[in-house]
Amino acid sequence: MSDQNAAPENKTDEAPEWARKAISEANSEAAKYRVEKNSLKQQLDEVLGKNSELTDKVAEVEKAHSAAQQELLKLRVALDAGVPGEHVRMVAERLQGTTEEELKADAAKLVQTFKLDQSRHLPIDPSQGRGRDQNSGPIDNSPQAQFAYMWNELFSNKR
């Protein structure tokens, strides 16, 4: 009974030469394929790691792009609402909403609440503070007109 349960022994030494040679070649080929498989697995792991890094970078770039687009949209909406240049960034930062319509509605409310409409600003007289009398009116802001004004002022003070 013990003879039947005994494991067969590996008797390659008793096998013919051609069988030993075939087994040796098969073992060698199997070893070569195992090395190649391990090398390919390592390369696959590296590629998957790089792919993961690139996917993360793409996600970061897409997030930054989306934020820049939203900021640009807010700036455009603030400008279209008539907000003066010096207040555009402040208003754009305060705008609430995700769609253009929501942002436009919020910008209109802010402009109305804080009276930021550009049409309310009076034009600036560039001649103010130049010492002219009030009846003569503003001077032309061209270089020729300014030179003529200075020339006249120079000779009017010497008389």
**Considering the entire predicted model, what is its pTM?**
0.52
How would DSSP label each residue in the chain?
A: -HHHHSPPP--GGGS-HHHHHHHHHHHHHHHHHHHHHHHHHHHHHHHHHHHHHHHHHHHHHHHHHHHHHHHHHHHHHHHHTT--GGGHHHHHHH---SSHHHHHHHHHHHHHHHT--GGGSPPP-TTTTS---TTS-PPP-SHHHHHHHHHHHHHHHH-
Mean pLDDT of the chain: 83
For residue range 60-97, what is the model confidence (pLDDT) as tens digits? 999 999 999 999 999 999 999 988 888 899 999 999 99
Residue ranges of domains in the chain? 14-119
pLDDT the model gives residue 42: 96
Whether the per-residue pLDDT at 135 is higher than 60: the answer is no
Whether the per-residue pLDDT at 38 is higher than 80: the answer is yes
Whether the per-residue pLDDT at 147 is higher than 90: the answer is no
